[in-house]
Amino acid sequence: MRDRYAERFSAHLKAKAKADQDRRLWLIALAVESVETSRGTATGITMEHLRAMQDRPHGAQWIEKLDQAMNAATGADAELPRPTSPGSSTGTRA
C-alpha cells in the first residue's frame, strides 16, 4: 500500500511540475511582444517557441531571464504623475 501511495504521489509531483512549467511558459508567451535576433525581429511568440528555446543549450537560463523580466514589469508599483510645483496646478483643491 505504501509503494502504491509513493508511486501515485511521485506521479502527482511530476504532473504538478509540468503544469507549473506550462503555466510559466504560457505567461511568458503572453508577455513577450517580439524577440530581436541577428536574423531579424520575430513576433507572435508561442509556447512551442519557448519550449524549443528551453531545450537548447543555455535555453533554461534565457527562459529564467524572460520570467524575471516579466515579473519585474508586472510586479512593480506604477508611478503616478505628480505636479512638479504647487503653483502649476489648475485644480481648486489644495
Cβ(62)–Cβ(53) under 8 Å? yes
- Half-sphere CA count of 3, side-chain side, radius 13 A: 0
Handedness of CA 63, 69, 74, 77 (dihedral sign): positive
pLDDT per residue as tens digits for the range 56-71:
999 899 999 999 988 8
| pTM exceeding the 0.75 threshold for the entire prediction | no
pLDDT per residue as tens digits for the range 2-23:
999 999 999 999 999 999 999 9
